[in-house]
Structures are given as structure tokens and as C-alpha cells.
A and B are shown apart, each in its own frame.
Chain A
Amino acid sequence: MSDVRLQSVRKVYAGGVEAVKGVSLEIADGQFCVLVGPSGCGKSTLLRMVAGLETISGGTCSIGDREVNEIEPADRDIAMVFQNYALYPHMSVYDNMAYGLRNRGTPKDEIDRRVREAARILEVEPFLERKPRALSGGQRQRVAMGRAIVRKPKVFLFDEPLSNLDAKLRIQMRVEIKKLQRALGTTSIYVTHDQLEAMTLADQLVVMNKGQVEQAGAPITLYERPMTIFVAGFIGAPPMNLLDLPASGLPGLSLASPVSGPVTLGVRPEHLELSTEGGALAVEVQVTAVEAVGAESYIYGALGGQGPEIIVRIPGRDLPAIGASLRAIARSENLHFFSRETGIRLN
């Protein structure tokens, strides 16, 4: 068993920055866990504490049955893929992959077998004798992956491994990482700030903010039932429309069953549709901008003519004129209500 358990893990850097403020997580054996959050929210710090590259200021981190707080990175039986790949520049691709095995005293023929196997899976066989500087970014990325898998570690750690690749290669590698992780069944923790990467890769998606976990769960759960305003605004693109409703209501907005008190109402652009009647929620918007992105289009409008901005997604490319007034509706199961003070979900 190689599950990873974090209990109230904290990190205070020298100088007093509290980068991680009590994070508790359970990552089951073989699970793919993705950490997302805005820049500086402590994702890398958390990952590096699991790796043993940063000391843990409070709480415990266990891998399998063992608490690893005081255990050297070398003895944690983990592998990590870095954003800049961190290949050993003076070693050939073969030696880069063999290094970890040699350090552990693996027999020579076993090393050779494993390195060639990893090279075959990752399609870097033709480059085994080359130095990293003679490889493209994508090839380096594969070698970095190869270095991680040859050791058959208990846990894979990834810190934004794809962010230096171009868009097309990113998608390709994303699919490959997922396949590889499924095939090997290795528990993985993956840091990214790419939403799409997060949604597609994760078994468990963890949204972090300011050193704390906002919500953890299956990606679809986070999408359908965000438990805080932050998660609601963070997951989904274009982002959810979030409207602060005063007790007196907003001009241009009507709810079938009115809510009491100051709340924040959330509704996703894809859950709004143009219609002249009905709807648990109905909004009147004046179009300020339109965007066609192929199969669908986005309409940007001002609520009630001059209120807050609302985004509506419509299928096709049949775009309204700028300045036109439209009516959009949403069904009640697609409405999210949050407390304005605490940011916590109400419904």
C-alpha cells in the first residue's frame, strides 16, 4: 500500500511566510491527485514537503504505513518530475535514467533492462546516447518521465511538468501521462494551474487558496457543487457568473423563488440559455461584446443595461448585434447560492 496521508501539514518559511496553513488530505493507493490554485497559494511547497525537499513545520506526512517527516528524500521511495526537467546535463539520456538505480545498487543487467523498457514506452530509444542539451523540450520531458518510472517508486510527484511545452504537445503528453499512470497504478500528486489539465487528469482534484484547501473531491463534483465562492470562480472556463444580490434584488434579474438576505448567486455561462419566457432565474442583458470560438460563442452583456457583466454561452455562431437586449434563463438545479460573508455554499 502506498497511499499518501497529510494531517494538518503546515509550512512556515524562514522569514515567517506561512505558505501552507494546515492541509489535510488522503490520497488513496493508485489515485491521481491534482493540486490547483492561483500562483503563490502553496502548491509547490506542499509537493516539496511530500518529496522531502522542504522540512515540515507542523503536522505529519505519511507514505504507506510510514510517517516520513524526518526521512530523507532519498529514502522516501518517490520520484519527481520538475518543471524545468532538471536532467543531469553532463550525463547521457541512458545515464540520466540509470542514475537512480545505480545509487540504489541495482544489478547492471537489471538496470539495462529497465532503462530500455522505459525508453521504449516513452519512445526515447533513438536518443539514449545523447546529452540532454541535444534534445527538444518534448524529448527532455519524456526523459524526465523515464527517469521517474524506471525506479518503480511508490509515489510520483509532478510540479507543472507540461508548462514549458507548446499547446499541442501539452495535450498529447497529458493524455500519455494519464495512460502511463493508469498502466503503472502508481499513486500520483500533480501540481498545475492549467484548469483543463486539472479536470482531465484528476481522480481527486484539490483546489488550494492562500495555503489552505478550499475543496477536494472528484472534478465533476467540484464543477457541479462548488462549496465556496472561490472554487465556483476558479473551476470552469469561462468562469461562473457571480452576482452579489442585495436584499432588495438587482434590476434586470428575477428569481422564481426569491432568496432572503445578502447572498452571492452563481450561474455558469453554459447553463444560461436564450429564451423569452420561464426559468428559475431570468436575466435581462444588453450585449456589450461577442466572441465566436467555433462550435460555440460567448455573449458578454451588462445586466439590466448597466449592471455587472454576465457571460452567456450559446451554441453555434448566430451572434446577436452589440447593444441588443436579450433575455437568458437558467434552471434551478444550476443555481448556486453562497453566503456573502463566509463565501460558503448555502443550497
Chain B
Amino acid sequence: MEKRVVFNGRLLPYLLLAPQLVITLVFFYWPAGQAVLQSFLVQDAFGLSTEFVWFENYQVLFSKPEYYKSMVTTAIFSSLVAFFSLSIALLLAVQADRHIKFAAGYKTLLIWPYAVAPAVAGVLWLFMFQPSLGLVSQAIRVAGFEWNPLLRQDHAMTLVVMSATWKQISYNFLFFLAGLQAIPKSVIEAAAIDGARPARRFWTIIFPLLSPTTFFLLVVNVVYVFFDTFGIIDAATQGGPAKGTETMVYKVYSDGRSGGDLGGSAAQSVVLMVIVIALTAIQFRYVERKVQY
């Protein structure tokens, strides 16, 4: 006879769920609700009077060219980071999968960057690439290249893309490695016997079989770039020079905190929220269908 524990009563499930629910409510729904509410309000410059203005904040927001510029910046930033962090991680994972002998040490080293806080990563890279003192900058200058992320927007963008990519590679690497190890060895051997060279095996067998992992990581990486890179940008460039690295999430902060435009800033948060909800929805739909083969 199988022994089963049966819990009677309706209270227990709710009790067990309560901590999670409380955390979600207090730390997610409540601030989200606040943001939505705030986005319908306008405060005067001294915070003395507050007025309910419906969608005026949104109208203002979408009439400002700077907002579109931050969208473009975000798009460039996130596609660069997603592209580089995914492809470098995949390359490293393929190497680790092949030379599994040293994989343990290799994997540990690759996972470390993930434990570094975004702001610390930003500072780290800022130090290395600081125009006058940074180690790497000096090397670049010796090589005859004028490097200055404090003045040049493209250099600043390169800097934040590098630090954000560096931090995300670990995470992607782990998932890719697990994905690679889930591909049966015999399938790859069959392809080898079928006359496919390593490069062709990769593109016709391994890459398609990894596509569920790749898609999952793409969404996770985009969400990461949208939100979690705030610390990197704040530490490395503060959105500059001349707003060249001001992403949408950084603009929420700079408009609200430094610009004092709480209503506009809240409206921006709501837009970001909508974007992340949409991304998550796409991912869930996809994951429900599981795999495409």
C-alpha cells in the first residue's frame, strides 16, 4: 500500500502560499500600482499641489523626441548586448562541451562574473577604460587610437556594451552548456557519418536543436538589458556623454530623480512594464508549446 499524506482543511494551502503572496503584493503590485497612479498625476515644481491629469503625462512623453531617442539607444544597446553575450557564450559552451576534461575549472571561472553586482561591473570596466589612467585605455593609446568614452558617444556605448555583455555571458554559458549536453551524442555521430563536417554539423544539427534554449535566453537577456543594466550605466557613464547611453530605464531615473518630473517618470515606468509583460507573455506562449520540433 502506498502511503499518502492527506491534508484536510482549506486554510493550509493559503497559509503556505501567504509569504510568497505577501512579498509579491508588497514589492511588486503595490509599487506597480503606485507607478500607474503616479503616471496620471502632475505635481508642481515644489511638490505643493498635485493634479489628476489622465493621460497628459503620456501625451507629453510621446511627443518628446528625446524619448524616442532613448528607445533607439535601448534598442541598439540591447541588441548588441544580446548578440554578443549569446554568441560568445555559445562559442565558449561549445568549447567546454568538447574539451570536457578541463571543463570543471573552466566552468567555475566562467561563472564568476555572474556574481559581480552590475554597479561593480560598471566601475570595473570604467577603471580599465578610464581615458587617462585606465590600463586598457593606455594600451589602446599606445596602439595609436584615441579612446575617450567621456567625450565620444560611440566609445561610451562600446564601454557599457562590453561590461553588460561580460556580466551576462556566465548565465548564458550555463544554459547553453546544459542544452548542448542534452543533445544525444549519437545524433551528432550519425551526422558525422552522414558526411557533415564540424561546421555543417553545428549549423544543421546542433544550432537548431539548441533553438529552444537560445530563444529562452534571448528573452531573458533582453529583459536583463532593459532593467538590470541600470547599475552599469549609472556607474560607468551616467547616461552620457550627451545622453548617448541613456536607455529607457536610465531615463526613468534621471527624469524623476534629477529632473523632478515624477509624473513623466512614472509614465515611462508603466511603458517599460508593458514591454516586459509583453516579452514575458511571448515567452510563456512559446514555452507552453515547448519545442518547435
B193-A80 in contact (CB<8A): yes
CA gap between A103 and B193 in the complex, in Å: 10
CA gap between A88 and B204 in the complex, in Å: 10
A89-B192 in contact (CB<8A): no
Cβ distance B197 to chain A, nearest Cβ, rounded Å = 7
Q: Which residues does chain B contribute within 8 Å of A73, judged by CB atoms? A: 189, 192-193
Cβ distance A46 to chain B, nearest Cβ, rounded Å = 16
Chain B interface mostly: helix
A177 at the binding interface (Cβ < 8 Å): no
B192-A74 in contact (CB<8A): yes
Q: Which residues does chain B contribute within 8 Å of A230, judged by CB atoms? A: none
A321 at the binding interface (Cβ < 8 Å): no
Q: Which residues does chain A contribute within 8 Å of B191, judged by CB atoms? A: 88, 99
Cβ distance A161 to chain B, nearest Cβ, rounded Å = 12
Please judge, given known A-B contacts A89-B293, A103-B200, whether A80 and B190 are in contact too, CB under 8 Å. Answer: yes
**8 Å CB contact of B195 from A74, A87, A89:** A74
A147 at the binding interface (Cβ < 8 Å): yes
Output the nearest chain B residue to A133 by Cβ-Cβ distance: B293
B9 at the binding interface (Cβ < 8 Å): no
B105 at the binding interface (Cβ < 8 Å): no
Q: Which residues does chain A contribute within 8 Å of B200, judged by CB atoms? A: 103
Chain A interface mostly: loop
Q: Which residues does chain B contribute within 8 Å of A329, judged by CB atoms? A: none
B209 at the binding interface (Cβ < 8 Å): yes
CA gap between A53 and B209 in the complex, in Å: 21
Q: Which residues does chain A contribute within 8 Å of B209, judged by CB atoms? A: 89-90
CA gap between A127 and B224 in the complex, in Å: 43
Fill in one digit per residue for B192-219: 1 if any A CB lies within 8 Å of its CB, else 0.
1111110010001100110000000000
Residues on B facing A (Cβ under 8 Å): 184, 186-187, 189-197, 200, 204-205, 208-209, 292-293
Given contacts A80-B193, A103-B196, list 6 more A-B pairs with CB under 8 A.
A53-B192, A76-B193, A80-B189, A88-B187, A89-B293, A133-B293
The 6 closest A-B CB pairs, nearest first, are A90-B293, A100-B194, A103-B195, A86-B186, A86-B190, A74-B195
A to B CB contacts below 8 Å, 9 in the list:
A51-B189, A53-B192, A53-B193, A74-B196, A74-B197, A82-B186, A89-B293, A90-B292, A147-B194
